[in-house]
Amino acid sequence: MGHELQDIWFSYGDRSVLSGVSLELESGLFHGVLGPNGSGKTTLLDLISGHLKPNKGRVFLEGRAVDKAARRELARKCALVPQDFRVNFPFTAAQVVMMGRYPHIGRFGAPSQEDWDMVEEAMESTGTRDFAQRNVTELSGGERQRVVFARALAQNAETLILDEATSNLDVRHTLALMRLAADKVREAGLTVISVMQDINLAARFCQSLLFLKNGKAAAHGPVDDILTEPVIQAVFEVKSKVYFDETIQRKQVVFL
């Protein structure tokens, strides 16, 4: 079991975005969600995390309807790293990471030592401790993205939902963040659902890929089965050569 989508239809006004998507994202795996711009990837994540409600169909998490769960309960189960995190108020980086603990702290409660320890650990693992006391409004795009990732780790949820979470990161920090997410899957049994533009990065770190095209699931399954030249042609309309890279022991793609 995991996240199950049953015949999901979704429109923004009269703009139809998803039409009849049914699939299951098994728990304990690193899932990559790929597809052309505007194909509905972010919308799909928002439906999975309960931030949007489908016009038709239902989303289930471990067999339970997401629209029946309280916001706080969902926040304890799913941590979201949005594509673009902006705040106007000058919170410090540490305060933003502590926001990840709010779903665990009672309404009128104060952070416990355990909450502070988890914030510290999340900042340590994302290399954000150096700017813990700086205002997030003054951080660079990549620094801010790592702080928001730390917030999601501090949330200690079973599912980590990443929306192009490495789009502003340099290659070293991109690899570090992907490795961290993959370690959480392997060692702690987390589920990661990650929208990614970089197919090679997805092929390297994900176990399962979902390709969206024109509001439908065009292909979905284990990386080795799904990542093929015909699928890339059908989804992105580009020619490619898919090969097995001996160095990283993963399929990779060269675009022609």
Ligand X SMILES: Nc1ncnc2c1ncn2[C@@H]1O[C@H](COP(=O)(O)OP(=O)(O)OP(=O)(O)O)[C@@H](O)[C@H]1O
Say how many C-beta atoms besides its own lie within 10 A of residue 32's C-beta.
Answer: 26
Nearest to ligand X of 22, 137 (CB atom): 22
Contact criterion met (CB below 8 Å) for 71 and 77:
no
Please choose, out of 33-41, 55-63, 120-128, 151-159, the segment that lies near ligand X by the rule CB under 6 A.
Answer: 33-41
Sheet holding 2-12, edge to edge: 15-26, 2-12, 56-61, 64-65
Nearest to ligand X of 119, 165 (CB atom): 165
Please choose, out of 36-44, 103-111, 115-123, 199-207, the segment that lies near ligand X by the rule CB under 6 A.
Answer: 36-44
Q: Does residue 14 bind ligand X (CB under 6 A)?
A: no
Q: Does residue 82 bind ligand X (CB under 6 A)?
A: no
Q: Does residue 59 bind ligand X (CB under 6 A)?
A: no
Nearest to ligand X of 59, 98 (CB atom): 59
Nearest to ligand X of 43, 155 (CB atom): 43
Contact criterion met (CB below 8 Å) for 228 and 203:
no
Indicate which single residue of 3, 4, 30, 41 sits in contact with ligand X (rule: CB under 6 A). 41
Q: Does residue 38 bind ligand X (CB under 6 A)?
A: yes
Q: Does residue 43 bind ligand X (CB under 6 A)?
A: yes
Q: Does residue 17 bind ligand X (CB under 6 A)?
A: yes
Alpha helices in the chain (DSSP H): 41-48, 71-77, 93-99, 113-125, 141-154, 171-188, 199-205, 223-226, 229-236
Indicate which single residue of 14, 37, 247, 249 sits in contact with ligand X (rule: CB under 6 A). 37
Half-sphere exposure of 80 (CA within 13 A, CB side): 19
Say how many C-beta atoms besides its own lie within 10 A of residue 80's C-beta.
Answer: 26
Using the 8-state DSSP alphabet, how is residue 88 labeled? S
Q: Does residue 94 bind ligand X (CB under 6 A)?
A: no
Query: Per the structure block, which two tokens stand in for 21?
Result: 């998507």
Query: Per the structure block, which two tokens stand in for 78?
Result: 């799913």
Indicate which single residue of 39, 145, 156, 240 sits in contact with ligand X (rule: CB under 6 A). 39
Tally of residues, the chain: 256
- Count residues near ligand X (CB under 6 A): 11
Indicate which single residue of 2, 32, 40, 50 sits in contact with ligand X (rule: CB under 6 A). 40
Q: Does residue 145 bind ligand X (CB under 6 A)?
A: no
- Chain Cα centroid distance, residue 200: 17
Indicate which single residue of 4, 25, 42, 223 sits in contact with ligand X (rule: CB under 6 A). 42
The burial class, CB within 10 Å (0-12 / 13-18 / 19+), for 129 is middle
Q: Does residue 15 bind ligand X (CB under 6 A)?
A: yes
Please choose, out of 35-43, 94-102, 146-154, 240-248, the segment that lies near ligand X by the rule CB under 6 A.
Answer: 35-43
Positions touching ligand X (CB under 6 A) are: 12, 15, 17, 35, 37-43
